């Protein structure tokens, strides 16, 4: 049994953090589904920017869409939804078999709308409606500015992938926004079965502290924060507040571990995969990491329900001079800026290709 299959048997979903048109049409994604237990997929502006810039697979469609007058974000979303609906259809059987727990794909709203709740929610509803796929998540960053949009989108019945979470506190705020949206649906007499995942980013913690902590603490911060977030996740599911919602028919917002490729060249290329094995969670990983784990990964014990040694590691890292709370905010701010930069690069690439092709 491959390590990916063992991880799936433990109860964790393996999602691919990548999408290209070639991946869909060549049979590669289907092979990952069949052979590596992949049950979902995520995307972001950087992934699409790389896919469109480094492939001719989109050229004919860009030429056709540009010729019909589409440009900028409208043209991009047309391309992205074409890819993601195809991927969603490939995961549709999994989505049905798991009663909506698994088999999801994700599309991000424009990060340029980050400070406008109403426009973010409107775009989330429009994109989900345009795709016409039940297993499509719309991604909204879990920044302080994004939390109201998350609540409103859930209340509107749009499945949401809350992205760009870094700390336990980030996760708790995102979960609170999710539950507020569900509680408002219950109060309004609406079905509270609106799905969501909360994506905690892992490896950027260790990349930011490689040269700041002693050798024995190197590459341990991302795992410790993940363990801490997992404990908060399990505590929330045991809370009276959640159990009341569950009684009305709500389903848990699953914890998702994102950014799980190893950034330290001295560490294992599958460092975060086995360490983050936890039932009823998701690990979304780049293609290279997925293939490496399938080839030489291993699965040991599941992550401890109580967070294991997370608190001791975090105390030791604080003693080494790292302000974890300040770093969480810095990483989220940098991530939000990176999303905007990637978005602008993506639109620039589409504009350049449109001009060249037409």
Give the active site residues: 139
Through-space distance between the first and last CA atoms of the chain, rounded to whole angstroms: 50
- Taking a C-beta distance cutoff of 8 angstroms, is the pair 357, 66 a contact? yes
Q: How many CB atoms lie within 10 A of CB 329?
A: 16
Cα–Cα distance, 357 to 9 (Å, whole number): 47
Q: Which of 320, 56, 79, 276 is nearest to 312 (CA)?
A: 320
Which structure tokens are listed for 98?
């798991």
Contacts of 148 (CB under 8 A, 6+ apart): 117, 177
């Amino acid at each position: 049994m491959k390590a990916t299959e063992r991880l799936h048997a433990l109860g964790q979903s393996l999602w691919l953090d990548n999408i290209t048109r070639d991946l869909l049409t060549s049979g590669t994604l289907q092979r990952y589904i069949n052979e590596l237990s992949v049950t979902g997929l995520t995307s972001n502006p950087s992934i699409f920017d790389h896919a469109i810039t480094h492939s001719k697979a989109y050229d004919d469609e860009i030429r056709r869409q540009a010729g019909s007058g589409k440009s900028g974000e409208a043209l991009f979303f047309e391309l992205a939804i074409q890819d993601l609906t195809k991927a969603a259809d490939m995961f549709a059987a999994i989505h049905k078999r798991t009663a909506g727990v698994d088999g999801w794909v994700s599309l991000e709203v424009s990060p340029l709308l980050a400070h406008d709740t109403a426009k973010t929610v409107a775009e989330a509803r429009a994109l989900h409606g345009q795709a016409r796929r039940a297993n499509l998540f719309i991604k909204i960053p879990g920044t302080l500015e994004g939390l109201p949009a998350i609540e409103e989108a859930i209340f509107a019945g749009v499945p949401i992938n809350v992205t760009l979470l870094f700390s336990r506190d980030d996760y708790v705020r995102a979960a609170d926004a999710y539950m507020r949206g569900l509680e408002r649906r219950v109060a309004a007499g609406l079905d509270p079965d609106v799905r969501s995942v909360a994506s905690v980013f892992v490896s950027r913690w260790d990349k930011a502290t490689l040269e700041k902590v002693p050798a024995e603490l190197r590459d341990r911060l991302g795992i410790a924060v993940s363990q801490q977030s997992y404990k908060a996740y399990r505590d929330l599911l045991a809370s009276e507040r959640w159990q009341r919602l569950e009684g009305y028919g709500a389903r848990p917002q699953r914890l998702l571990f994102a950014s799980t490729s190893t950034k330290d060249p001295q560490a294992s290329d599958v460092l975060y995969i086995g360490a983050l094995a936890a039932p009823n969670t998701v690990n979304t990983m780049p293609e290279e990491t997925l293939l490496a784990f399938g080839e030489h990964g291993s699965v040991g014990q599941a992550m401890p329900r109580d967070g294991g040694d997370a608190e001791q590691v975090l105390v030791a890292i604080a003693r080494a001079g790292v302000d974890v709370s300040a770093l969480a905010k810095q990483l989220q701010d940098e991530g939000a800026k990176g999303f905007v930069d990637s978005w602008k690069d993506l639109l620039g690439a589409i504009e350049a290709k449109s001009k060249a092709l037409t």
